[in-house]
Structure 1
Amino acid sequence: MNNMFIKVCSLSPRIELGRPMANVKLILKEIKKLETKNPHFIVLPELCVTGYSCGDLFFQDYLLNENDKAIKYFLNNNDYNGIIILGAVYVHRNNIFNCAYVIYKDQVLGIVPKTYLPNNKEYYEARQFASGAVLGDEVIKVDNYNTTFGRQLFYEQSKDVTFGVEICEDMWAPISPATYLTMAGAELIFNLSASNEVLDKDDTRRYIIKSFTQRNKCAYVYASSGRFESTQDTVYSNHCIISSLGNIVNESTLFDNDTVTLLGDIDLGQIKYLKRKDATNREALKLYFDNVLSSSINCAFTDDNFTFESPVSRTPFIPEDNHKEAYKKILNIQVASLARRITHVNVKNVLLGLSGGLDSTLALIVLYKTFEYLNMDKEGIKLITMPGPGTSERTLRNAVNLAKGFGLDIETIEITEIVKKELELLKHDMNNKDITYENTQARMRTSILFKKANQLNGIVLGTGDLSELALGWCTFNGDHMSNYSVNSGLPKTLIRFMVEAFLQYEENVNEILIETLTDILNTPISPELSGKDQKTEDIIGKYEIHDFIMYRFLIAGDSEDRIDYLLHHAFPELSKEDRKYYLKTFFHRFFSQQFKRSVLPDGPKVLSISLSPRSDWRMPSDIKYID
């Protein structure tokens, strides 16, 4: 199976300025060291064969001849089973071009010349080099073999990846060559650079690359030369960056005293999925597909010994860093959305059924913050707890203490007797704790909330989350229904994160809240409908695993086989049978429960995906999952 991950390497080697043969020998040694990691692609800095800072020596036959000899030596001695992108000069029609050689073993797949030549301040490239913009579609000879010369797309068949190349200044242009390449279908861009270092330039460089990969739905691998270039007037920092879809996958430190080897794994499957979904990308493909040369190669890559450079995250919805900032941003989205709904319907009262569980706890935090944001009287926060036959003392106590911790009143409405009467009307045995028994309780709570909202001229705040919506773990027209569902954009793992973050980052959290929230976080998740020992994760499995599957399915568009592959790496404790169970459970429930999502109450989108039938997820309710 093609696992749809591409291992890339940004390699910034020690060089000896003006000594091409010595440089390619050193580069070959560094590449040899990478055979245990087996990156599919290795990109090196701009003009790394000669060194970038040779000045007018680029005009001289001796340096140009040495460059050609070094390239020939490299081709004759390169047995690495991967694509190497090497910076060197190429002379064509008496013009010198600053180029990227795209190499597989002894074959030059194509040569890409630099388009934009910086010619101001410390840079005078137009003095020595010609721009690739003057070229048409060219076929040239390198070491007696024909190859393409010019801006072009490359396609590697075994990994099903389309890639392109640009060089240093090209990236800084208003419309870079890589922009056209990605619009024509490139999923991966390589940049060979010799970018000097001045104060804060690394921040700008990083921002440009991250922004490019976000806008163009691609990955970008950047390799810049280091301090071994001339420092006559400027210094180079060997900055290497790997970015994908707006994120930094890996990045080097600056001014390393030796060769820099930076590795990273690119999720090609996710890139392809997002490109397929992007209507703007499809329009661009129509315009630019025919405007570049294309070359194809089959490197016969296999994934038999593939290892990830970083562990596969078990909780991909949770940000890896900047937790406080993420907490504030998520909370602000929820608060702003609820504030708009409250002001639109012009009510002073919002009703919340408080169960003592995670979801209603976060809903209360959002509701409290919204009333603060709107400067509303907090007497309008109407909390109701409705213990029934399956309610535990622990959750009831936590619901009451939670209200107390926020300084709010809470009304208790016991539903056990009402439920008994309803079941008697249905001639249903109270000892038969089936779906009717459970759903009667859930719908009774919702019915009470809506009736109370009518009584108080208020609205009912929903508490259900994205994980419950994906799995259909809610009662149709019970907890499934509300006037506004403030948690519907957050999966269960992120709900837990938000409650933990409230404890960690909010100021002046009193002792009652600290104790109560800590206990809520430690309480097993349960609907408490069939008995006090009922645990959701004993029935459907762990939310952490279902959230992982949901992330891979909705955000990366993965097949079951690929999700199974990633589950194996993220949750090695799961057996093959366990993984199969989770996948079957998730997909069976996801397909069969679409009817609940088709009539979903309004609620804010928080992440890049949601399950709203009005926006992100449109799927028929009567489609079957193929096992």
Structure 2
Amino acid sequence: MRITLAQLNPVVGDVEGNVERLINVLKKAQDADADLVVLSELFISGYPPQDLLERKWFIRNVEKGIEEVVKASSFFPDLGIIFGAPLYSYKDTGRGLYNAALFIHRGLINLIQPKSLLPTYDVFDEARYFDPAPEIKTIPFKGEVIGISICEDAWSLPELWQRQFYNLDPINILVHKGATILINISASPFTIGKEEVRFKMIQNHTKKYKIPFIFVNQVGANDELIFDGRSMAIDREGMPIDVLPPFEESIKTIDTSEKGSLENYKPLEEIESVYKALVLGVRDYFKKCGFKKAVIGLSGGIDSSMVACIAVEAIGKENVLGVTMPGPFSSKGSVEDSKELAENLGIEFKIIPISEVYESYLKTLKDSFLGREADTTEENIQARIRGNILMALSNKFGYLVLTTGNKSELAVGYCTLYGDMSGGLAVISDVPKTMVYKLAEYINRIRKIIPEAIIKKPPSAELKPNQLDQDTLPPYEVLDPILYYYIEEGFSKEEIIDKGYKSEVVEWVLNAVNRNEYKRRQAPLGLKVTTKAFGLGRRMPIAAKF
């Protein structure tokens, strides 16, 4: 069977636009002599639609969109169409909605197959909105029997999980109901290393059941989630017939009778995948939210340099403004390095000194602070002055402020609320500091964009004389693994100490993470690239003792 894999970038809520995107694909599939065209999970609504699903008017819009697809299918009588949409269950009990796959052919909806396995871990909260499928069905089509599953339905494999989440295996049921081709429509977000896990998961199904497997994943970014695509067709022996490119739209027609080869699949290197994910995350956030230009505070450090590089790649150098704001403790090198970076990137660059504003603050607060020694209060004033300047530029010119804090700093609260945390999108808030350096190497692999001085200088906030990050924090080579074990793996203090880390260091890190939850709750939305980011997928109490 000839099947067109349509790896597209839907916009959440834009039912009319998503339907138009779908219908435009039909002509391309017909021209490729396809029997079937497949699009991603919840394509009509975009994924994730979140509480839009609780709005009746929105579901009515989805129903109208489906009607348009049904009408359009009449003009393509030789083409079957599979895509995802939220649909009413018309049951008296339950949530009242299905996350459904629809099979449309010649002006009729031939099959509605709801999703069976509804994930409720990390960023997923599907049981909040949907009911599970009451039944799993197959459908005969052009001499084959099509078995359709939706994203999580294919992940019920014991070898993938430390704990088995489900007592149901939809893929196994489809096979036992006679499926000769398995099709999975997905909205599977990117995290580091997930691409290869997906590939092995699909390989396992094909090798086990000796049936071709078609996987069509959403691409693009919606809020903090980034979807890498990587749709694929795998033959009955587990070999890839074709794997679509990551982080970009792609439409490809394959024949399930073709024999695959491992030469057709090469996973991205980890750092390249993170870089491309962040670029896509920034690009789509700007495009889908209607922003045109970004403003970034350039400190002369590696984090702000990294964000500037990503922004230029995402929205173009003509749409990025870099601002350096030297204060009383800024080094001459910080200004010069920021200027060199801006020149290398070709972006607009401004220098706005803050020393006079800072002195004005101290003068204003002199009587109130009488008898008190200078401490982090005075340091934070400088950070907040800079934050206010960036927000003023944002307000005046409509730029979006991109914050530049990394995951290591955000985790332990080494950042200033209403200061360097001010902004609209936290680009690298899920990137540990040690990974930021690896990303810098990747960016500089062809030519020096980030100056060597920025990469080599010891990290410093430059908010007091001779300040270095390591005066306050453990070395990042120690801090980042501890954070990984605590945040991503969920290890206890004792379990982390057993990994060989000093007990006093581990205790300090864990206490810092816990007491700064209130800060992170007020941080701007951040792009997710690891298995556990600060955002939708991590819900920790603030007023608590543990």
The Cα RMSD (Å) is: 3.3
Residues 191-340 of structure 1 aligned to structure 2 (within 5 Å): 210-211=200-201, 325-340=269-284
Q: Does 1:435 align with 2:380?
A: no
| Secondary structure of residue in 1 paired with 2:416 | coil
Structure 1 residues 178 and 389, CA gap change in structure 2 (3 angstroms): closer
Find the aligned partners of 2:268 and 2:157 in 1 and give their Cα distance. Answer: 36
Structure 1 residues 214 and 498, CA gap change in structure 2 (3 angstroms): farther
Find the aligned partners of 1:392 and 1:480 in 2 and give their Cα distance. Answer: 22
Equivalent in 519, 530, 539 of residue 618 of structure 1: 539
Aligned counterpart, 1:592: 515
Output the amino acid matched with 2:333. Answer: R
Deviation at residue 623 of structure 1 after TM alignment: 2.1
Find the aligned partners of 1:526 and 1:580 in 2 and give their Cα distance. Answer: 26
Q: In the alignment, is the contact (CA less than 8 A) between 1:363 and 1:486 conserved in 2?
A: yes
Output the amino acid matched with 2:278. Answer: Q
Identity %: 28
Equivalent in 478, 489, 492 of residue 419 of structure 2: 478
**CA deviation string 1:408-464 (max 9, x = no partner):** 231000000101101211114799531221010000000000001111121111111
**TM-score with structure 2 length normalisation?**
0.51
| Secondary structure of residue in 1 paired with 2:444 | helix
| Secondary structure of residue in 2 paired with 1:367 | helix
Equivalent in 341, 345, 366 of residue 402 of structure 1: 341
Deviation at residue 326 of structure 1 after TM alignment: 2.0
Deviation at residue 177 of structure 1 after TM alignment: 9.3
| Secondary structure of residue in 2 paired with 1:444 | helix
**TM-score with structure 1 length normalisation?**
0.45
Q: In the alignment, is the contact (CA less than 8 A) between 2:301 and 2:334 conserved in 1?
A: yes
Structure 1 residues 207 and 389, CA gap change in structure 2 (3 angstroms): closer
| Secondary structure of residue in 2 paired with 1:567 | coil
Q: In the alignment, is the contact (CA less than 8 A) between 1:592 and 1:624 conserved in 2?
A: no
**CA deviation string 1:84-128 (max 9, x = no partner):** xxxxxxxxxxxxxxxxxxxxxxxxxxxxxxxxxxxxxxxxxxxxx
Aligned counterpart, 2:318: 379
Aligned counterpart, 1:150: none
Q: Does 1:523 align with 2:444?
A: no
Q: How many pairs align?
A: 302
Output the amino acid matched with 2:309. Answer: I
Structure 1 residues 448 and 184, CA gap change in structure 2 (3 angstroms): closer
| Secondary structure of residue in 2 paired with 1:566 | coil
Which runs of 5 or more residues in structure 1 are unaligned?
A: 1-173, 187-205, 216-321, 373-377, 569-578
Structure 1 residues 419 and 566, CA gap change in structure 2 (3 angstroms): same
Equivalent in 513, 518, 527 of residue 604 of structure 1: 527
Residues 343-362 of structure 1 aligned to structure 2 (within 5 Å): 343-362=287-306
Q: In the alignment, is the contact (CA less than 8 A) between 2:312 and 2:319 conserved in 1?
A: no
Kindly name which structure, 1 or 2, has the bigger radius of gyration based on alpha carbons. 1
| Secondary structure of residue in 1 paired with 2:402 | strand
Deviation at residue 179 of structure 1 after TM alignment: 9.4
Deviation at residue 544 of structure 1 after TM alignment: 1.7
Find the aligned partners of 1:601 and 1:177 in 2 and give their Cα distance. Answer: 37
Find the aligned partners of 2:165 and 2:532 in 1 and give their Cα distance. Answer: 26
Find the aligned partners of 1:352 and 1:496 in 2 and give their Cα distance. Answer: 19
Find the aligned partners of 1:179 and 1:591 in 2 and give their Cα distance. Answer: 30
Q: In the alignment, is the contact (CA less than 8 A) between 1:423 and 1:430 conserved in 2?
A: no
Output the amino acid matched with 1:211. Answer: M
Aligned counterpart, 1:502: 443
Equivalent in 349, 353, 366 of residue 414 of structure 1: 353
Output the amino acid matched with 2:275. Answer: L
Find the aligned partners of 1:181 and 1:442 in 2 and give their Cα distance. Answer: 44
Q: Does 1:552 align with 2:481?
A: no
Structure 1 residues 431 and 379, CA gap change in structure 2 (3 angstroms): farther
Find the aligned partners of 1:462 and 1:180 in 2 and give their Cα distance. Answer: 35
**CA deviation string 1:276-333 (max 9, x = no partner):** xxxxxxxxxxxxxxxxxxxxxxxxxxxxxxxxxxxxxxxxxxxxxx997222211221
Residues 89-168 of structure 1 aligned to structure 2 (within 5 Å): none
Find the aligned partners of 2:460 and 2:503 in 1 and give their Cα distance. Answer: 24
Output the amino acid matched with 1:381. Answer: V
Aligned counterpart, 1:286: none
| Secondary structure of residue in 2 paired with 1:382 | strand
Find the aligned partners of 1:602 and 1:474 in 2 and give their Cα distance. Answer: 15
Q: In the alignment, is the contact (CA less than 8 A) between 1:492 and 1:543 conserved in 2?
A: yes
Q: In the alignment, is the contact (CA less than 8 A) between 2:300 and 2:335 conserved in 1?
A: yes
Structure 1 residues 430 and 337, CA gap change in structure 2 (3 angstroms): farther
Deviation at residue 519 of structure 1 after TM alignment: 1.4
Deviation at residue 207 of structure 1 after TM alignment: 8.5
**CA deviation string 1:2-52 (max 9, x = no partner):** xxxxxxxxxxxxxxxxxxxxxxxxxxxxxxxxxxxxxxxxxxxxxxxxxxx
Equivalent in 538, 555, 563 of residue 496 of structure 2: 563
Structure 1 residues 184 and 347, CA gap change in structure 2 (3 angstroms): closer
Q: In the alignment, is the contact (CA less than 8 A) between 2:430 and 2:533 conserved in 1?
A: yes
Output the amino acid matched with 1:379. Answer: E
Aligned counterpart, 1:365: 309
Deviation at residue 567 of structure 1 after TM alignment: 2.5
